[in-house]
């Protein structure tokens, strides 16, 4: 009966091992640990026990070792020659000081002990499985993942891999506006893996990271995968716009043309994957001014002033009709350009020479006593550094571009208009 119970435990573990691909040495060690743990719990110590596991045969034998003594003080670790005879052993083969071993019956654990062994075994197996999943996906962070939506919830999307492991795309890692339904195929990057509540690996996928777009380019553009073209930097405002700076190591290869493809064939596939996100492919340059000019496209830059300190803001001057192009919708274009070069960029209007209004205009800084400085900073960041440059736009445009409340913009217009009325 005891042997049957042991084999049942071994067989259960053996099946799980084959299903979850647990290494044989690990499996044997887990079995030993589980039995030794229960022995120590039952008898106070497992020092005089040996557990021999043969997974291939599906057997497990437990031996209890006794020191041969004249008088027993610890019945779990000591035995006399007379007790050896009662146990069926040949006492003539032993003398005091020797060690006597015999098979330990599983029934000695009792029903509760056997139940504890099974539960402990299952727990250890689950821990091994979780550790395996954690290791597997930790090594794949930064790689593309293809899957099918298993469940769509308000705060995240759940995906199951081929082994039934759960992967999550939180709402914050989804492209704004995209919608999923059960059964949809999805592509994302493995962003992170962590042990949530120290129990289950929580695998996070992302579709909004800059690295996701970089992996898509590597997938769609063979020259990038082959190392002929390198992606120097990627910046995104997910769902709005992205800028990808590329460089070719072969003068015969046009990096921009290769990324866009014939009739836009390559870039269109990426744009569709990103739910029609606008993508600007830019030729990389070590010259920061040239890179800024390219990054602010379609706006045309007149000239640039860069401070010697890397923390200084970059001042970009553009003709009035180019300012809105350089800043872009909701300020996205200038924001991405700043991220690309790693500097804050401010756009200023360059008025044509001889324009009479120049002398009549007033710098916004002159209104710091009646307009909060943070509001002035916000206006300057969208290229409005003078009163007239603000009034040249509608209140709705200023509110949207500078991300200001309608009431705030209304008050600004009242103050600025009063200056010229006076």
Residues 310, 420 within the same domain: no
- Strand duo 99-103 + 314-318: pairing: unpaired
- Residue 114: pLDDT above 90? no
d(CA 383, CA 146): 43
Phi first, then psi, for residue 396 (nearest 5°) are -65, -40
CA atoms within 13 A on the CB side of 260: 15
Please give the share of the chain, as a percent, with pLDDT higher than 90: 42
Would you say the pTM of this structure is higher than 0.85? Answer: no
User: What's the confidence (pLDDT) of residue 307?
Assistant: 77
d(CA 327, CA 297): 9
Is residue 90 domain-resident? yes
User: What's the confidence (pLDDT) of residue 221?
Assistant: 95
Domain boundary among 191, 208, 225: 208
d(CA 112, CA 299): 78
For the stretch 133-160, pLDDT in tens is: 999 999 999 999 999 999 999 999 999 9
Is residue 254 domain-resident? no
pLDDT average, residue stretch 394-398: 85
Sequence-distant (≥ 6) Cβ neighbours of residue 305 within 8 angstroms: 314, 315, 317
Residues 32, 158 within the same domain: no
d(CA 272, CA 313): 35
At 196, list the tokens.
């949530």
Predicted confidence band at 7 (pLDDT cuts at 50, 70, 90)? very low
CA atoms within 13 A on the CB side of 56: 1
For the stretch 8-51, pLDDT in tens is: 555 555 555 555 566 777 777 888 888 899 889 888 889 999 98
Is residue 253 domain-resident? no
Is residue 217 domain-resident? no
| DSSP H helix total and E strand total for the chain | 16, 15
Is residue 34 domain-resident? yes
Kindly list the distances between the CA atom of residue 251 and the CA atoms of 244, 247, 353, in Å, as whole numbers in the listed order. 19, 10, 41
Of 203 and 107, the structure prediction assigns the larger pLDDT to 203
- Residue 358: pLDDT above 50? no
d(CA 269, CA 218): 12
Residues 310, 364 within the same domain: no
pLDDT average, residue stretch 313-320: 87
Whose tokens are 């039995």? That residue is: 35
Q: Which of 30-39, 128-137, 413-422 has the weakest average pLDDT?
A: 413-422
Is residue 263 domain-resident? no
Predicted confidence band at 91 (pLDDT cuts at 50, 70, 90)? confident
Domain boundary among 164, 180, 208: 208
Is there a contact between 72 and 78 (Cβ–Cβ < 8 Å)? yes
CA atoms within 13 A on the CB side of 58: 11
User: What's the confidence (pLDDT) of residue 88?
Assistant: 87
Is residue 58 domain-resident? yes
Task: Tally the domains of the chain.
Answer: 4
Of 216 and 343, the structure prediction assigns the larger pLDDT to 216
What's the whole-number average pLDDT of the chain?
86
- Residue 53: pLDDT above 90? no
At 5, list the tokens.
């119970």
Is there a contact between 203 and 167 (Cβ–Cβ < 8 Å)? yes
Residues 363, 418 within the same domain: yes
Residues 200, 298 within the same domain: no
pLDDT average, residue stretch 175-189: 93
At 283, list the tokens.
């030729």
Is residue 250 domain-resident? no
DSSP assignment of 333-371, as one string?
Answer: HHHHHHHHHTS-EEEEE-PPTT-THHHH--BGGGGTTTS
Sequence-distant (≥ 6) Cβ neighbours of residue 404 within 8 angstroms: 375, 378, 398, 412
User: What's the confidence (pLDDT) of residue 351?
Assistant: 63
d(CA 124, CA 118): 10
pLDDT average, residue stretch 188-198: 88
Sequence-distant (≥ 6) Cβ neighbours of residue 421 within 8 angstroms: none
Domain boundary among 180, 208, 236: 208
Residues 305, 421 within the same domain: no
- Residue 89: pLDDT above 90? no
CB-count burial class (<10 Å; 0-12, 13-18, 19+) for 386: buried
d(CA 358, CA 320): 13
Residues 21, 80 within the same domain: yes
The three-class DSSP label of residue 405 is coil
d(CA 410, CA 398): 10
Residues 96, 33 within the same domain: yes
Q: Which domain holds residue 400?
A: 351-422
Question: Which range is most confident: 1-5, 46-50, 312-316?
Answer: 46-50
User: What's the confidence (pLDDT) of residue 385?
Assistant: 79
Cis previous bond, 298, omega within 30: yes
Of 313 and 283, the structure prediction assigns the larger pLDDT to 283
- What is the CATH number for 175? 2.40.50.140
For the stretch 238-295, pLDDT in tens is: 999 999 999 998 888 999 999 999 989 999 999 999 999 999 999 999 998 999 999 9
Residues 340, 294 within the same domain: yes
Predicted confidence band at 353 (pLDDT cuts at 50, 70, 90)? low
Where helices occur in 221-331 by DSSP H, the ranges are 222-225, 255-260, 265-273, 288-295, 320-327
Residues 364, 398 within the same domain: yes
Sequence-distant (≥ 6) Cβ neighbours of residue 346 within 8 angstroms: 313, 314, 315, 316, 380, 381, 383, 385
Residues 177, 68 within the same domain: no
- Residue 305: pLDDT above 70? yes
User: What's the confidence (pLDDT) of residue 254?
Assistant: 92
Largest Cα–Cα distance in the chain?
123
Residues 20, 108 within the same domain: yes
């Amino acid at each position: 009966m005891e042997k049957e119970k042991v084999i049942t435990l071994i067989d259960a573990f053996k099946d799980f091992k084959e299903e979850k691909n647990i290494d044989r040495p690990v499996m044997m060690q887990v079995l030993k640990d589980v039995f030794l743990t229960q022995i120590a719990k039952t008898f106070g110590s497992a020092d005089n026990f040996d557990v021999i596991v043969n997974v291939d045969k599906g057997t497990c034998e437990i031996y209890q070792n006794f020191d041969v003594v004249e008088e027993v003080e610890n019945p779990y670790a000591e035995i006399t020659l007379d007790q050896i005879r009662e146990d069926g052993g040949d006492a003539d083969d032993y003398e005091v000081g020797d060690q006597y071993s015999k098979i330990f019956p599983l029934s000695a654990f009792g029903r509760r002990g056997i139940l504890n062994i099974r539960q402990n075994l299952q727990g250890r197996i689950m821990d091994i499985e979780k550790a395996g999943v954690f290791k597997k996906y930790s090594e794949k962070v930064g790689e593309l993942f293809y899957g099918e939506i298993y469940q769509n919830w308000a705060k995240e999307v759940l995906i199951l891999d081929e082994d039934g492991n759960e992967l999550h795309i939180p709402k914050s890692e989804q492209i704004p506006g995209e919608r999923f339904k059960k059964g949809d195929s999805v592509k994302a990057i493995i962003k992170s893996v962590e042990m949530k509540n120290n129990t289950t690996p929580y695998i996070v996928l992302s579709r909004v990271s800059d690295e996701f777009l970089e992996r898509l380019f590597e997938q769609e553009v063979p020259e990038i995968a082959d190392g002929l073209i390198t992606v120097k930097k990627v910046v995104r405002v997910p769902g709005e716009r992205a800028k990808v700076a590329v460089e070719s190591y072969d003068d015969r290869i046009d990096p921009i043309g290769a990324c866009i493809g014939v009739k836009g064939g390559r870039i269109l596939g990426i744009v569709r994957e990103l739910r029609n996100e606008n993508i600007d492919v830019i030729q990389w340059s070590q010259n920061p001014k040239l890179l800024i000019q390219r990054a602010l496209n379609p706006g045309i830059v007149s000239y640039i002033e860069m401070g010697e300190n890397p923390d200084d803001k970059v001042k970009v001057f553009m003709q009035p009709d180019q300012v809105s192009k350089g800043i872009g919708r909701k300020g996205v274009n200038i924001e991405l350009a700043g991220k690309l070069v790693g500097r804050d960029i401010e756009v200023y209007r360059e008025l044509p020479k001889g324009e009479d209004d120049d002398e009549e205009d007033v710098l916004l800084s002159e209104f710091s006593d009646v307009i909060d400085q943070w509001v002035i900073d916000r206006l300057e960041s969208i290229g409005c550094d003078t009163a007239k440059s603000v009034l040249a736009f509608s209140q709705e445009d200023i509110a949207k571009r500078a991300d200001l409340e309608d009431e705030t913009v209304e008050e600004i217009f009242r103050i600025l208009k009063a200056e010229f009325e006076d």
